[in-house]
Structure 1
Amino acid sequence: MSTDQAHLAPRSDAAASPRWSAVTTVPRGPRARVGAPVAAALFRRAVRNLPLRVEYPDGTLLGAGSRSGEATPRMLVHRPGEFFARVADSGLIGFGEAYMAGDWSAPDLTAVLTVLASRIATLIPPPLQHLRAVCLPRRPRADRGTRAGARANISHHYDLSNEFFSLFLDDTMTYSSALFAPSAPAPVWSDLAAAQRRKIDALLDAAGVTAGTRLLEIGTGWGELAIRAARRGARVHTVTLSREQQLLARERIAAAGLSGQVTVALQDYRDVTGRFDAVVSVEMIEAVGHEYLPIYLRTLDRLLDEDGRIALQAITMPHDRMLATRRTYTWVHKYIFPGGFLPSVELLEQLTAEHTGLRIRDARGFGHDYAQTLRLWSQRFTAHTGGAEALGFDRIFRRMWRLYLAYSEAGFASGYLDVHHFVLDREPIREP
């Protein structure tokens, strides 16, 4: 563990929250009772031709993998009654809760989820997809990206404790996709810190950050980007809504001898004032929410100096899937990132053109690198599960995080998700 990771106080109140432990209660209402047989039939239909081997306790086998004899990912359904009651009650949220509760498992969880993610658009029959808004839970209004909602959403995820995140992050404490060297097709743990610094340097280069640059960072993380920018001679104002992150970022910046060049503020992006030569933000736009994206982009426009540049790292999804799911309340919203929303490249281009004088000049995807980053995090988390237990995080929480990391890796490995570096600057003023 790095000496930079000094402020690592666990939050036992987070670990004791009933928000995830409530999954021990199996739904027993009319929707679960009536819908469970329907969910079971739909599941059989969905996996029938998938390259999976689905195994039931009574010996029943489903999926193309059960017929071909080839080695395919195995999904073990331990308690079919509970599993299908949860799915009937709340769809894919119930699917995730069933894993958390132990109703199903998989020797290679990511492999199973990658198969499902690669066919996500067709697993549910189209007529039933249109009933999503009627039959499934809706997003709580409290999760909206208002100032109060944004602070609560960020605290929900990032204030679990710095020590928890240190269990699976490298010494840079960077919690976003790395950018690996092209010569590292299957990177190992020792490659990760250098790849995170490569990603940060690519963003700083894209934004033109050099000595004397007035840099705004939206979303501090644990301070690595601010440190690297300050070492270039920039003056950095970085903002976060996580008190835990602010404390550790300040300590890491002070340990690097850079406190005089960096201000770490507990501040909403909408409340930042002044003008900056460059703005950099890494995987923060996903927390803004669909309805607040125009405000976020207008804020970037307002804060950027006339000849400045913006570099963003953003997780994206295909435009058609974004349109189909933008109002859906998911397992990730309920348990991991309340209020989150993943835009498409097309949506960002459209909103930027409609609401700002900025234009996207460059967009480069590197989703494969995120799949590799998540693979390394997942391996590290599994290896340090005892550390999470020692911090007070129970078995259900640990299964929840394993599912989240595997689910995310599957999204990038299947191509359902991507991550981009965007460079924005101002539309040239045309002479009359």
Structure 2
Amino acid sequence: MTSTTQTSTTQWSATAPSTTAPTAPARPTPVVDPARWPDVARVPHAPLRAAIAARVLRRAAARQGIRLELPGMKDELDPGPDAPVLRLHHPKAFLHRLGTGGLIGFGESYQAGDWDSPDPVALLTALAAAPEALVPRGTRWLRRFYVRRPPRAELSTPGNARRNIHRHYDLSNELFALFLDPTMTYSAGLFPDAPGARPTATREGLPAAQHRKIDRLLDLAAVGPGTRLLEIGTGWGELAVRAAARGARVVSLTLSEEQLALARRRIADAGQADRAEVRLCDYRSARGRYDAVVSVEMIEAVGRPFWPEYFATLDRVLAPGGRIALQAITMPHDRMLASSRTYTWILKYVFPGGQIPSLRAITDTAARTGLRVDRADAYGPHYAETLRLWRERFTERWPEAAALGFDEVFRRTWELYLGYSEAGFRTGYLNVHQLLLTRDGGTVPGPYGARA
């Protein structure tokens, strides 16, 4: 690995004497397995880009009120004692990664232990609050020359989709059970609202929040006795169980073999095996006609090139008079357009092949079929709280994850993924919507919230 000795690229101009900044004890730098994490193990050498990265970092820190802590130096800007902290343990490696890889390099620096923060979510929230501030306005046109495009091998084609899903959802059912609640639901919960405050989210209340979310979706789709329901994206089976308990006949599709096995077992244990069937099947291969279709946070894995085919499939399988209830993570339309052809750290290490849509993109794409978005209810702050609970539990139960064979780089990868996602929802960079789609586009009263 390249030496991390401090060089001129990390010598910030100081207006105050250099003093050692007080720091909490750092975790040991992780041992990086180059076979498993080749780009984390490799530190690039790009002095000019590192120098530019140093200037951009200082500018962004000043604009966002972030305290920079380097070995043996104190941030002369002094943004205040409550400022979020970016603590650089290996400044040279950090800047060379950042200068070469941009935000992918920023993430790989965290995986490698080059930087830390006593409150990563506060730091990431400050960065996510104004992402445009990270790149000087006059240089943004250069972006197209240095950002990477997603590799074709990760496009969610029928041939690639199962492999993409396998990389995330087939990590280990035991791993997900460590930080999810007993419902094994891996999507935003819906907590009781506290007027004028963030949702009242507690670990004990998370199972009820997940059931509240599921029940609202089933209500949107008018699922009841005798409903023929198609679920696209099984998860670990909780929605199928609750729909079957209402008297529906459920067919649920998944591409995850791990989820398939556990969902079938959970459905059987709930006594609903005669009403709910789980199939290992791509959504494009769905057959039959259904009174209702429900899909929870699955569209994000589809990928923008395949959204038309996704909505065409929904239209094809929906029986006359049927209803579709979707739950989708969304982002503002302009940001979606800017990121839609960019290879991000999340795509590289967490969710290959995905793309978060905008509400406008969903509406416009659905409209090319016979479908119309009738209702769109947002509850992003609830996702921030869901992620906080998952992140806290993941941290607490890490020793058990390590015993399953996951290494320290994986731990830091998931810490950053969960923290980054939480920050996105806290700032509004990300949102989550429950959507009702019908064929006639007529206004249909929904169970909660205001129409977006």
Q: Output the TM-score relative to the length of structure 1.
A: 0.92
Go from structure 1 to structure 2 and tell me whether the alpha carbon gap of 1:130 and 1:152 turns closer, same or farther (over 3 Å shift).
farther
Q: Give the 5 Å matches for 1:79-228.
A: 79-183=90-194, 185-228=199-242
Match of 2:380 in 1: 367
Q: Runs of 5+ in structure 1 lacking a partner?
A: 1-14
Taking the TM superposition and a 5 Å limit, the aligned residue runs for 1:260-409 are 260-353=274-367, 355-409=368-422
Partner of 2:8: none
Query: Does the aligned pair in 2 maintain the 1:217–1:237 contact within 8 Å?
Result: yes
CA distance in structure 1 between the partners assigned to 2:363 and 2:109 by the alignment: 38
Matched, 1:417 2:434: no
Shift of the alpha carbon at 1:21? 5.7
Correspondence for 1:236 = 250
Which structure is higher in RCO with an 8 Å CA cutoff and minimum separation 6?
1
Deviations 1:354-406 (A, max 9, x none): x2111000000000000000000000000001011101110011000000000
Q: CA deviation at 1:51?
A: 2.1
For residue 132 of structure 1, report the CA deviation from its aligned partner: 2.6
The residue matched to 1:48 in structure 2 has which SS?
helix
The alignment covers a number of residue pairs equal to: 408
Q: What amino acid does structure 2 have at the position aligned with 1:131?
A: L
SS in structure 2 opposite 1:310? strand
Contact 2:377 2:435 in 1 (8 A): yes
**Which whole-Å CA distance do the structure 1 matches of 2:402 and 2:274 have between them?**
38
- Looking at structure 2, the residues matched to 123 and 142 of structure 1 have their Cα atoms a distance apart, in angstroms, of 30
Residues 281-312 of structure 1 show CA distances to partners (whole Å, capped at 9, x for unaligned) of 00000000011001101110001011000000
Percent of aligned pairs with the same residue?
A: 54
Given the superposition, is the C-alpha separation of residues 346 and 395 from structure 1 closer, same or farther in structure 2, using an over 3 Å criterion?
Answer: same
| Partners of 1:18 and 1:175 in 2: CA distance | 29
**Would the alpha carbon gap of residues 380 and 21 (structure 1) be closer, same or farther in structure 2, given more than 3 Å must change?**
farther
Partner of 1:8: none
Once residues 104 and 287 of structure 2 are traced to their aligned partners in structure 1, the CA distance between those partners, rounded to angstroms, is 40
CA deviation after TM superposition for structure 1 residue 321, in Å: 0.8
Distance in 2 separating the partners of 1:244 and 1:17: 27
Q: CA deviation at 1:122?
A: 2.5
SS of the aligned residue for 1:167 comes to helix
CA displacement 1:197-235 (0-9 Å, x = unmatched): 000000000000000000000000000000000000000
Distance, in Å, in 2 between the alignment partners of 1:110 and 1:428 is 40
| Normalised TM-score (structure 2) | 0.88
Aligned partners of 2:142 and 2:309: how far apart in 1? 31
Alignment of 1:22-41 (within 5 A): 22-28=39-45, 32-41=46-55
- Contact kept, 8 Å, 2:67 with 2:79, in 1: the verdict is no
Cα RMSD for the two superposed structures: 1.6
Q: Which amino acid aligns with 1:321?
A: R
In structure 2, do the counterparts of structure 1 residues 240 and 327 end up closer, same or farther at CA, with 3 Å as the change threshold? Answer: same
- 3-state SS of paired residue (2:160): helix
